[in-house]
Amino acid sequence: MPLSATAMGTGRFNETAAGKELYEIRTYELRFGGNQKLLTDYLKNALHPALSRTGANHFMLFGEISSTLPKKIRAIISYPNMESYLKGQNLADDTEYDKAASDYNALPVDKPIFNRFSSSLLLAFDGIPKMVDPVDGATIFELRTYEGYSEDAVRRKIKMFNDDELPLFYEVGLNPIFFGDMIAGPYRPCLTYMLNYKDMDAHAAAWKNFLNAPAWNQMKVKEEYANTVSNIRNVFLELI
């Protein structure tokens, strides 16, 4: 069942004291012919341990299930609070990190691995304030971003998830990893969430069950939830 949290304080970041995590999504756009193994080794063996030392709770690394170029690698990281997030942005004093990242940092200027990486920051929903572990045997991860035509539209969609949709997700097999309100990053105003499944058949069955559920057909016509989503971005990922 979905979790719940009691809000504390008046600011968004004060709410993390009540147990709502922050999520960072780093997306690396790989250059053709770039040394992908060196990048993944760095992310797994240097960055992940270093962020764990600053207090990060989760670190998951994904590749896209797609042949589309350029390839992208995503690191999704959960932090217990803003302090932990900020510490993770400057690892200059971490000697263990420096040693583990030495091959990555020695990469010559004429052999870049990626073009750039983008970073988004999200604040967890009240209804699911902490990242959830994948289901046993999960092989498919679905990352979905819902854009709204205004900030109010996104706020109403978040309310819809917290109050009505999240319980139904669990019932029909749409297994959440996280739900977050994007507070920094592209496509704002928007929210982003991740689901996971054992395979694509489980994905198709879960969404069919959701769309056919009486509860969904009742909530989607509520006036308070009208015109909350103006565009959907969707990508399927696998752990690497």
Q: What is the mean pLDDT of the chain?
A: 93
Could you tell me what percent of the chain has a pLDDT over 70? 92
- Region of residue 166 (phi > 0: left; psi between -120 and 50: alpha; otherwise: beta): alpha
Which H helix or E strand runs over 221?
Answer: none
Q: Amino acid identity, residue 147?
A: E
Give residue 81's pLDDT band: very low, low, confident or very high (50, 70, 90): very high
Across residues 187-196, what is the average pLDDT? 98
- In the chain the domains, ranked by start, together with CATH numbers, are 15-239 (3.30.70.100)
pLDDT at 203: 98
Residue 14 pLDDT grade (very low, low, confident, very high; cuts 50, 70, 90): very low
CB atoms within 10 A of CB 239: 13
Phi first, then psi: give them for residue 42, nearest 5 degrees: -60, -45
| Residue 193, pLDDT score | 98
**Residue 1's pLDDT band (cuts 50, 70, 90):** very low
Q: What is the pLDDT of residues 121-138, one digit of tens each?
A: 999 999 999 999 999 999
pLDDT at 18: 64
